[in-house]
Each structure stands twice: as structure tokens, then as C-alpha cells.
Structure 1
Amino acid sequence: MDFEELLDVLTSRLTNGTFIGGTISQSRTKTDDLKRVKVKAVEIKEQLHIQFEYQYERILNHENVTPEELRSHLQQLLERFRQLHIEFTDEKIQVQLTKKFKVMWKSEKVTSEKVVDLSHNRKKNYLLDEHTPYPFLVRLGVQTPDGKVKKQKHDKFRQINRFVEFIDDSLAHLPKDRTIRILDFGSGKSYLTFALYHYLRIEKGLDIKVTGLDLKKEVIEECRTIAKDLGYNDLEFLVGDINDYNEETSVDMVVTLHACDVATDMALARAVKWGAKVILSVPCCQHELFSQIQSPALDIMLQHGLIKERFSALATDSIRAELLSLVGYEAQLLEFIDMEHTPKNVLIRAYHTGRKASASEHKRYNEFRNLLHVKPFLEKELGDLLSK
């Protein structure tokens, strides 16, 4: 079998209903920042797609391609990687590619045949089932009393479930021998705050104490009423600003959702100084760098206001993630919800590891910051920690 035949076989077998999942790995170059790609079959709007999950060191990206687009995607990836593991319903396959793209194929029959169920796979991604009534979702107007998601609230239900996935992924980083302290800055209407409390306390039975903080008094009062009516005794809501909240010396998880501009940086800095084990942040309205960026090398982009605005937002979040990594966190930028629903779809997820950054990592950050000629607010807030 040559390389072209391999592409034909894979394209056919990945779309014939027997494909379970696979992994593409072993980059051909040491400089390739894409570490591996996970592949699986999914159903989108009743049509088969193949989903590629691109795993970088600190970023995960997803792309769903149609069967017609599949061959070209496989070709591009297999020209960059040397190994492929694939599982079908009745067989496991390992493919190794040499430098000259000679194909080495190994096959192993599966004794207990698996079944592909795309609809089941899609549903199990929802940690909160879309047909089960949840008191907090009913009270917040997302579900009807019998558990049906309201037509105009499907996007909100998906967003809540996506957030719960991030919470679930964070469980291993939270303490297990004491009360888990959680702060939510800028909680707003608190869909996600209630979801967090429900999942950790009701579904997982964890000992938690959650505080939601927001400036809107009327919203906080409504949230207090809902929490009381639901019997959420360890969920409190307070009126206040991030700058004014000085009640804690140690926090386990900090959540900040759509805190505008440098308010996000204030929350991130607070989280770091409290030694938070988990940080989940969805930034909003990144204006700080927009007015600062001066980089002639990027003028072809930055001469356009729209592009400059988007680039400033991406640069801001990249800088935030990098600064967190320099002060002992494993930081990733992840997709929160689809771009078609909102442009505010980047989530910063950071787990505290205590790892000390190398001199080369500090140098890399400084070079990027100097390229843009900016003075990030978060860097100033973390100055003492960065100099250690």
C-alpha cells in the first residue's frame, strides 16, 4: 500500500459507519507546535462529520469536516505526522509512515465488537441531560417544569453544559479534605454560578462554599431569592466590585465571566495571589492593548480598525495565558461556545502547578510584549511574582 492508497482507504473506512476514533501523532519536525490530533465521528444536524481535535501545548482547537473534505485534511496531517492509531467496530489499526512515506500497516481484530452510536455520543457530551428537569434551570427560565429546554434557550443550555464540562475537568485539581472555596466575579444573572453549585454540590456531593459577586444590586437580590428557595445554603451573592472584595486570604477556584477590560486582569491577579488551584475566565471588551499597540511590522493588519480590534483581543488573551504560565500555572485558551452564537468564545483555563518558568520562557514573553510596545495591566499586577 502506498501513501495515496492509504488516504483512499482511510477516507472510505472513516465514513462507512464503523469508525470509533483515532489519534494522529509523532510529528516529523521538532519545531511543530501541534502535538497530536484526536479524530472521531460526530453527527451534526443529522449529517456525518469527522471531528479533528488539534492539541497544542496550551490550546485545544476543534474542526468538523464533511466526508467530502476528509481526504485533503488527512493528507495535510499525515504529511506532518508519522503515526496513526485508529479503532473501528471490529478492528484496531496502527499505521507508521517512514521519512519517504512508506506505509507500515498493522491490524488487530477486536474480539467484542463495538457499536457506533453517533446520537448517543452526542448526548453523553451533555453532563446535564437535556430531558431531565433541574430546579435551578427551571427557575432561571431555561427549562419548562417537565424538563424541556425552551426553544429560545437552547444556546444558553449548550453554554451551561460546556461550562460544566470545564468544571468537571477541574475536579482533580481541587482539594478533597476540606471545604472548597469558590469565588465568581461578575456573576451577573448567575446561570453558570448556579450550574457550578448544582454540579459540584448536588451531582458530585462535594463540600463547597460559593460566592457570586456583582455590582447590580437588583440582580444580586433576585439571585439570593432563587438560592434561598432552592435550598442552596452554601451559595451566597454579594453586591460589590472586584477591587473592594478583601474577605479572603485563600481561594481554591476563581471564576470570572465577561468582566470588562482590565477587570478580568484584576480578577486573575487576585486569583494568583490567593493561590487559586483553578482559574476559569471568559474575558470581555479588551480595550487596553488596542490603544497601546505600535508595531510597524504589523501595520498591514493594524491599519484596519476591525482587524486591529480582533488582534488586540487575541493578543490580550495570549498575554494573559502566558503571564499565568510564568507564575506557576498550566494555562490554556479554549473554545467556550461556538462563534456563531457570540464572539466572546475564548475561555482561559489555568491550573496551579507551581512550576518555575525558565529564563527562555520569560525572554519569549518579553520579546512578544516588546514587539507590540505594550504595557499589560496584568504584568504590572503580577510584578512581584514575575521577578522571583
Structure 2
Amino acid sequence: MSKPAFLQHIKESLQGGTFVKLTLSKPFQKSSSLQNLYVRPIEIKNETVLNFLFRHLTQDETKNFDFEEGLKEVAKYLETHFKNAVLCTTTIDYTLLTSKKGKTTLQKKAVTREIEDVSHDKQKKKRSTAESTYLQKLGISDSQGNIIPKMADKYRQINKFLEIMESLLDSASLPPKPKIVDMGSGKGYLTFALYDYLTQKGLDVQVTGIELRKDLVDFCNQAATELGFDGLNFLDQPIEEYNDNDIDILIALHACDTATDDALAKGIASKAALIVSAPCCHKQIRKQLKGKPAENPILKYGIFKERQYEMVTDTIRALLLEREGYESKIFEFVSNEHTRKNVMLVGINHHNTRNSEQSTTKIQEIKKEFGIEYQQLERLLGD
């Protein structure tokens, strides 16, 4: 009777205005794409509805339901998909647990919690405000704290990046003083942003940017010194020559071609808790297959061939991360209107056992289908 009682508590909290949020977790099938379901109330056109966030391995999906429809959806997913659930109300947290034998139990815990602002149209939270001094130093805002119009896209990218990192950091197991390495840091826009954001949250972090261009490294080091960012420094050297394996978070955004593979290999070798990359160029497999006839009709057209090889490359990289015990995710980083290189590949180290056989089989099938001899990350990992 635990499940019907849990659903009744949801219904009563909705009717009584005490509902705060609901989380469904632990799928019956471990291989399921859908990993979590998050439910919260939002207000749209003066009407409160339930917003469902379906968290899949590779993407998120949202839908809105009225209270009655939403309750039916929750009941359906508790019956067919998820073992556990947590209902948070203003006064009591209810936890529904399902044992390996299918027995359900319901736990209660008294709390004091306020209702959150449910307005869907409220201004989006900015994790980097226009007044931040590092934005002025990097030429994104002026001395009055106004974003320079031509840098508006970069400012949006910074806040989107920090939003993503905020979520990923909640999923990672990090030491008290995490060491972060940004490989291919460029002018350091996102490197400075992450350091500023984490230190503002009170975290003691050490952030290192790796960049080939010495003029950019000198500029960034001087800026960090002038800003008093004592835990931030930059080194001018190739990614493959960086030999410090003490990395907790590895970042590689738009590291060109196989530099992405160099960075991923460094992160895996360090057993980094979190690997965050935005792959770029994808030349290695294209060069390898140049001139070879393609049986797949999709690959008859050059533009499709390029996109297909990008997807193949990043899929193999994701499978290699899974093979090494990481949970891998691929999702959109920024909108296509800003850049077509907008895919983010993430690896979260849950310290799982290596998923060698299954992932290796999938990689071999992809290579056989497309006539690929090797992908660079395979070689860097010793395959």
C-alpha cells in the first residue's frame, strides 16, 4: 500500500498548495535511456501547471501537465519505470523506496520549507553578472559594467557554460580543493568565468589554463594577477606535453581536431571526476576515409558526410569514456545561431567498473560499418 499512499500525498499536497517538487529515480531497467524525472510547479499565464523534466542519458525533455494529468503521469512512471521517488512539501518529505524483491516502503521526515517562486516568466538567473571585474578586464563589459554589444554572444555563452557546470558539479565527487585544468583555454573567457564563479561560492580551487599561444598566456596571467585571482594560472605548452596527472576536472572546449583526444586521454589517465569537452574540427577520421567509396547513400553528399563523421567521432569518444567507467553525455552547448560547433561531450566518473566488453563491441561495429581503421583516442589509451 506504500505506492497508493505516496500518490495520495502528492494529490493532497497539490490540492493544499504545499507541493514543492518531486523526483523519480532508479529505473527498473539499468539500460534505460530515461534516468530521472523531475516535477515542479510553474506558473504560465496566471495558471499553475506541473513541469516535467525527463532526464535522458543524452538529452533533457520537458512537458507541462495540469494537476490531474500530471498525477496520472507520475502514477504511470512509478508503475512502469522508476523504483524510487521523493516528494518534497513545505512540511514533510516523503520517500518511496523499492527493494530488489519489489517490496515498497514509505518514509516520512518533518521539514520546514518555503514555496519557491513558480513564475515561468521570471528573469533568467545570471551566474556571471555584467559588473564582474573580470568581464571588464577581458573586454566583455565596459567600465560602467555594461556588456559591450559585440560581446553579447560571448556573455550568453559564459552564463550557459556556468549553468551547465553548476549542474555537472552537483553530479561529481570532488575533493575539498579541486584541481581544474582547461586545455586549450584561448583568451580564457570561460576559464576566468569558472574560477570567479567557484570562488564566489566559497570553493578553494586551483585552475590552470593550457594554451599554445604565448601572447594569450602572458595576457591571461597578467589579468589574473591584477584581479587577485591567486588560484588561477596559465601555461604555454601543447596539451600532449602536460604531464601532471593530478586533475579533478578536465575541460577542453573547442580543442582542435585530435587535441580533443589528447585532452580526453589526459583526463582519463588522471581518473578525473569530471571531463567536459566541446569537440572541434573532427579531421582525423575524415582524412582517414578520404577517397574510400562509401556504401551508405547518406555519405554520397559532402555536407552530410562531414556531419556524419563528426557524430561517429564523438560517439566513439563517448563509448571509450563508458569503457573506462565514466557515464557519458552528449548534448547541445549553445544555440546553432551562435556556432555550429555546439556539441558538448561530458564524462562523469562514478568510479564504476570498466564497461569493456559491451563498449568495445559497439566501437568495433561502428568502425566496421564506416570502414574506420582507428580513432585517435583509442591509440592514446593504448589500444
Q: How high is the TM-score relative to the length of structure 2?
A: 0.72
Q: Distance in 2 between matches of 1:311 and 1:25?
A: 33
- 1:116 is displaced (CA, Å) by 8.0
Task: Report the Cα offset of residue 241 of structure 1.
Answer: 1.0
Match of 2:219 among 216, 219, 222: 222
> Is 1:324 the counterpart of 2:321 in the alignment?
yes
Mind listing any 5+ residue stretches in structure 1 that lack a counterpart?
1-18, 90-111
Encode CA deviations 1:214-270: one digit per residue, 9 max, x unaligned. Answer: 122222221122111101122111211112x34413222211111111110011111
2:156 equivalent among 155, 158, 175: 158
Amino acid at match of 1:336: F
Instruction: Select the residue among 180, 183, 186 that pairs with 1:182.
Output: 180
Take 1:229 and 1:322, find their aligned partners in 2: how far apart are those partners? 42
Percent of matched pairs sharing the same residue? 33
More displaced, 146-155 or 370-379? 146-155
> Where does structure 2 lack aligned partners over 5 or more consecutive residues?
1-18, 91-111
Q: Who is 1:97 aligned against? A: none
CA contact (8 A) 1:43 1:122 kept: no
Q: Which amino acid aligns with 1:383?
A: G
How far off its partner does 1:52 sit?
A: 6.6
The corresponding residue for 1:382 is: 381
Q: Secondary structure at the match of 2:219?
A: helix
- CA contact under 8 A between 1:326 and 1:357: conserved in structure 2? yes
1:198 counterpart = 2:196: yes
Paired with 1:26 and 1:275, the residues of 2 have a C-alpha distance of 25
Distance 1:87 1:152 in 2: 44
Q: Which amino acid aligns with 2:236?
A: V
State the distance in 1 between where 2:27 and 2:270 align.
Answer: 39
Q: Distance in 2 between matches of 1:161 and 1:223?
A: 20
Counterparts in 2 of 1:307 and 1:227: CA distance versus 1, 3 Å: same
Residues 180, 205 of structure 2: 8 Å contact kept: no
For normalisation by structure 1, the TM-score amounts to 0.71
In the other structure, the counterpart of 1:308 is 305
SS at match of 2:284: coil
Please give the per-residue CA displacement for 1:51-73, whole angstroms capped at 9, x wherever unaligned: 774432x31x2467899xxx9xx
Q: Deviations over 1:176-199 (max 9, x none)?
A: 2xx422211111011101011112
Contact kept in structure 2, 1:42 and 1:122, CA below 8 Å: no
Equivalent of 2:266, from 265, 270, 290?
Answer: 270
* Closer/same/farther in 2, CA of residues 263 and 26 from structure 1, 3 Å limit: closer
Distance (Å, rounded) in 2 between the aligned partners of 1:226 and 1:119: 39
Opposite residue 228 of structure 2, the aligned amino acid is G
Partner of 1:3: none
- 1:218 and 1:212 map into 2 onto residues whose CA distance is 13
What's the Cα RMSD here?
4.5
| Number of matched pairs | 348
Distance, in Å, in 2 between the alignment partners of 1:339 and 1:147 is 28
In the TM superposition, residue 369 of structure 1 has moved relative to its aligned partner by 2.4
Q: Is the 8 A contact 2:24 2:38 kept in 1?
A: yes
Contact 2:53 2:63 in 1 (8 A): no
1:351 aligned counterpart, secondary structure: strand
User: SS of the residue aligned with 1:255?
Assistant: strand
Q: Of 221, 229, 232, which residue of structure 2 is paired with 1:232?
A: 229
* Paired letter, 2:370: L
Could you give the per-residue CA deviations for residues 321-367 of structure 1, whole angstroms, max 9, x where no partner exists?
A: 11011012122112211122211111111122242215233222322
Contact (CA 8 Å) 2:195, 2:205: kept in 1 or not? Answer: no
Report the CA distance between 1:372 and its aligned residue. 1.8
How many angstroms apart in 2 are the aligned matches of 1:38 and 1:255? 28
**Rounded Cα–Cα distance in structure 2 between residues aligned with 1:153 and 1:288:** 32
Aligned pair partner of 1:285 in 281, 294, 313: 281
One-letter amino acid of the structure 1 residue matched with residue 329 of structure 2? Q
Q: In the TM superposition, what whole-angstrom CA distance separates every residue of 1:106-146 from its partner, at most 9, and x where no partner exists?
A: xxxxxx99878566775464333x46x11111222223344
Offset of 1:161 from its aligned partner? 1.6
Contact preservation (8 Å) 1:42, 1:121 = no
